[in-house]
Structure 1
Amino acid sequence: MPALLQDPARNAETDGDAPRPPRSRPRVPVTLVATGVGVALLVPLAGQVAEWIPGFGNPLEQEVVDRSTPPLLLALEDLSEYRAAEATFQVVIDREKDTRFVPSVISGERVSFLATGTADAYVDFDRLTTGGVTLSPDGGSATIELPAPRIGDVRIDPENSRVVDRDRGALDRVGSLFVENPSDDSELYALAERRLSAAAADSDLADRAEQNTRRMLITLARSLGVEQVEVRFEPAPGDAS
C-alpha cells in the first residue's frame, strides 16, 4: 500500500514500539582515579619511611600554627586602676582655744570632735600595657610587675562624724549670738582628715592591697589558662627594704 494511504494511528503505534538507544553513564577520567590511588598509597608509605630513617620527618604531616592573641593581655588592658583594699578609721579631736591671761570660763573654747573616715589603697595598672607583663611562648606562665600600692585621700563620713562636746566661755557664748555661723567646724574636719591620713599610712592597708591584687591577678590568669603566675611589686617610695 502507498505510504500516503496508510493509517496514521497505526503509524504512531508502530513508532512508539521502536526501541530507544540506552543512555550513556558519565565516565570518571582515568587520570583522576590514578591520582587518588597514588595519594592514598603515598600517605602510609611516608609514615613508614619516617619510622625507618631516624630524623626524617613525615613530609605530609600537618603543622599547626597558633596565632591567637594571648587572652591574659587583653583582659589586663581593660584595667587601669584597681581598688585593692579599703579601711575605716576613727579619731577623736580634742581642741582647745584659750585667751592669754583670761580664764577659760570667760573666754575660750574646747571642742571634742569624733571623726570617721575611709581610705582606699589602689594599684595603678597603666604599666601593664607598656611591658609590665611577660608571657612565656607557650602561654603557660607569666610574670606581672606592678608599682607599689598607693593610699588615696581620706573621705570623712559626715553622717558618722559629730561634735561630742563643746564648752565655751561667757564672752564666746555672747559673741556667738551675733555671728551668722558661730559653729564653723571646717577646721575640725581638716584636722581630722590629716590625722586619719597619717593613721592610714601607718596601718597595714598597703600590705593588704598587695595581697588582694596578687590573689586577683593569679585567679584571673589561671581562668585564662596561665597556670604559673608571679606578681611583683616595686618598693614603696621611702621604703628602705
Structure 2
Amino acid sequence: MKWRGAVIGAVVVAVVALVGVFVVVPKFGTGTDTVDRSGPAVLQAMRDLSQFHAAAGEYQVVLDIEHDVRYVPSVLAGQRTLFVAAGTVNAYVEFGSLGEDALKVTPESESKPKSVEVRLPEPVLDKPNLHQERCYVFAQERGLVDRLAALVETRDQQPFYVAAEQKIADAARDSGLTERAEENTRKMLTGMLQALGYSVTFRPAD
C-alpha cells in the first residue's frame, strides 16, 4: 500500500506544479481580429450523374464514449463524452452501368399490348452526410489532468464524427431504406413507361 500512496503523492505534486505554471504565466489581452485571405473555390472536375436518388433517411445518434487511464483514478485522469450527431443517408439506383439488355421490349401484337421488362439494379446506400450544425458535445466529464490540458490545447473531435458516421450507416442498413428506394424506383419507372403505352414488369439485376 505504501507504493500506491507514493504514486498518488507524485501525481498530486505534478498537478500542483502544473497549476502553479498556469497561475504564474501572465494573461494577455483577449481581443482578436480575423482576416480571411482565402481564395475562391476552383472547379477541378465535372461529371454527368446517372443516379436516381429514390429515398433518404434522417438519423440521430448519441455517442457515449469513455477513455480511462489504467491504474489512475478517474478524478485525476480520463474523460467521458456524450456527443450528439445527426445526418442524412441517401439510397440511390445506379443506371449508368446498365447494358443494352437492361430493357427487353416486346412489340404490340393482336393478342397483347406492347410491354417492357426492366432489369432493375439493387439500390445502394450513399455515405452518411452529417449535419455539422447539429453535431455537438452535449456533456463531458474530465479528470483534473485532462481539464488542465484542455486549457492549452484543443481536443480533436474527428474520432466522434467517424464513430457517428459508422453508427448512422449501420442504422440506415437496418431501417429498410434500400427496400423503400427500390419500391420508389419501380413506381417511377412504371408511371413513366405506362405513360408511353407499355405494360411493365421487373426482374432483378444479374
* Superposition TM-score, scaled by structure 2 size: 0.71
Whether the 8 Å CA contact 1:93–1:114 is kept in 2: the answer is yes
User: Which residue of structure 1 lines up, in the alignment, with residue 30 of structure 2?
Assistant: none
SS class of match (1:120): strand
User: Which residue of structure 2 lines up, in the alignment, with residue 96 of structure 1?
Assistant: 66
| Cα drift, residue 223 of structure 1 | 1.4
| Cα drift, residue 127 of structure 1 | 4.3
Q: CA offsets, 1:194-222, max 9 Å, x none?
A: 11111111110010011000000000001
Q: Larger RCO: Structure 1 or Structure 2 (Cα < 8 Å, ≥ 6 residues apart)?
A: 2
SS class of match (1:131): helix
1:143 and 2:117 equivalent?
yes
Number of residue pairs matched by the alignment: 155
| Cα drift, residue 137 of structure 1 | 1.8
Task: Select the structure of larger CA radius of gyration.
Answer: 1
Q: CA RMSD in A?
A: 1.8
Distance (whole Å) between structure 2 residues aligned to residue 79 and residue 209 of structure 1 = 17
Alignment of 1:1-241 (within 5 A): 80-138=50-108, 140-179=114-153, 181=154, 183-226=155-198, 228-234=199-205
Structure 2 residue runs of 5 or longer lacking an equivalent are 1-47
| Cα drift, residue 130 of structure 1 | 2.2
Letter in 1 for 2:204: F
Q: CA offsets, 1:81-107, max 9 Å, x none?
A: 111110011111100011111111111
Alpha carbons of 1:128 and 1:100: their partners in 2 closer, same or farther (altered >3 Å)?
Answer: closer
Larger helix fraction of residues: 1
User: Which residue of structure 2 lines up, in the alignment, with residue 47 of structure 1?
Assistant: none
Whether the 8 Å CA contact 1:79–1:125 is kept in 2: the answer is no
Distance (whole Å) between structure 1 residues aligned to residue 70 and residue 49 of structure 2 = 57
Q: Which runs of 4+ in 1 moved over 3 A?
A: none
Identity over aligned pairs, percent: 39
Distance (whole Å) between structure 2 residues aligned to residue 130 and residue 151 of structure 1 = 25
Q: CA offsets, 1:40-79, max 9 Å, x none?
A: xxxxxxxxxxxxxxxxxxxxxxxxxxxxxxxxxxxxxx98
* Superposition TM-score, scaled by structure 1 size: 0.61
Whether the 8 Å CA contact 1:124–1:146 is kept in 2: the answer is no
Distance (whole Å) between structure 1 residues aligned to residue 88 and residue 167 of structure 2 = 12
| Cα drift, residue 118 of structure 1 | 0.8
Distance (whole Å) between structure 2 residues aligned to residue 152 and residue 120 of structure 1 = 5
Alpha carbons of 1:202 and 1:130: their partners in 2 closer, same or farther (altered >3 Å)?
Answer: same
